[in-house]
Amino acid sequence: MDPVKQFAAEREERLAAYAEDAGFRRLSRDFLEASMRKKYVYNFDWLGRPIIQYPQDMWAVQELIWTVKPDLVIETGIAHGGSLILSASILAMLDYCEAMETGAPLDPRQSTRKVIGIDIDIRPHNRAALDAHPLRPLLTLVEGSSIAPETVETVRAAAQGHRRVMVFLDSMHTHAHVLAELEAYAPLVSRDSYCVVFDSFVEDMPADLFPDRPWAPGNNPKTALREYLTRHPEFAIDKAIEGKLMVSVCADGFLKRVA
């Protein structure tokens, strides 16, 4: 067998086995719960900025950006800016690779690829650090609630002219807020691109995991995306991504635009 095909076939077989492996799935779920209690998600940086994410999910983001090759990523929830810098760094790599392929000169300041980040509270120290970051030219920072009509209008206007758009929702994780974000930003997602809904795993965790937060089982991003999907058949859950990550906060949250 062709070694490339063989590698792919072995991978497919392995992932199919994971789906049937209740013990492995339970271990993954238990790791998520235990690690969340230990605040593991706060341990990492991307190119110098703290990123409040599980590394597995960021690996998936890298694969998605490489595959879809968006020219715009819209993210709700900036915090320290790590996820914005991650998206910007992969977009910059797309520019670099394109320049290598075409021989065109690479001028990062002329890049048409952008990341729009939205946060209700961009803390001064985080804004200053992002302003000083070499990838800053790729970022547009919008301060305001992600579901406020003026914010949505600003982002929609900034998205005009972009041809391939990807969206990451990672701000306030209540049902009502995420549903409103989906209504506002999912329509901007291009066909075959993704809207990734973070922290949907809350639905599958014990009720006491986030005692000081307004989200819990029954009121979280997964309940919101389920409701959204009943009215929006243009999106489908891509189960294959979480099926290989095994550790992901985006349970049912990798939404692919299929129509």
Ligand X SMILES: C[S@@+](CC[C@H](N)C(=O)[O-])C[C@H]1O[C@@H](n2cnc3c(N)ncnc32)[C@H](O)[C@@H]1O
Assess 28 for contact with ligand X (CB under 6 A).
Answer: no
Assess 83 for contact with ligand X (CB under 6 A).
Answer: yes
Instruction: Select 82 or 221, whichever has its Cβ closest to ligand X.
Output: 82
Pick from 121, 131, 153, 192 the residue near ligand X by CB under 6 A.
121
Assess 51 for contact with ligand X (CB under 6 A).
Answer: yes
Assess 78 for contact with ligand X (CB under 6 A).
Answer: yes
Measured CA distances, 127 to 15, 46, 87 (Å): 41, 16, 17
Instruction: Select 33 or 101, whichever has its Cβ closest to ligand X.
Output: 33
Piece in contact with ligand X (CB under 6 A), picked from 25-33, 75-83, 89-97, 183-191: 75-83
Pick from 35, 52, 59, 164 the residue near ligand X by CB under 6 A.
52
Q: Parallel, antiparallel, or unpaired: how do β-strands 254-257 and 235-237 relate?
A: antiparallel
Assess 184 for contact with ligand X (CB under 6 A).
Answer: no
Token pair recorded at residue 26: 């339970």
Assess 169 for contact with ligand X (CB under 6 A).
Answer: no
Assess 89 for contact with ligand X (CB under 6 A).
Answer: no
CA-wise closest residue to 193 among 164, 214, 170? 164
CA-wise closest residue to 116 among 92, 94, 138? 138
Q: How far apart are CA 22 and CA 33, in angstroms?
A: 16
What letter would DSSP give residue 71? S
Separation of CA 65 from chain center: 10
Pick from 53, 87, 193, 248 the residue near ligand X by CB under 6 A.
53
Assess 172 for contact with ligand X (CB under 6 A).
Answer: yes
Task: Write the burial class of residue 99 (CB in 10 Å: 0-12 exposed, 13-18 middle, 19+ buried).
Answer: middle
Least separation in angstroms between CB 76 and ligand X? 5
Binding residues for ligand X (CB under 6 A): 51-53, 76-80, 82-83, 118-121, 145-146, 170-172
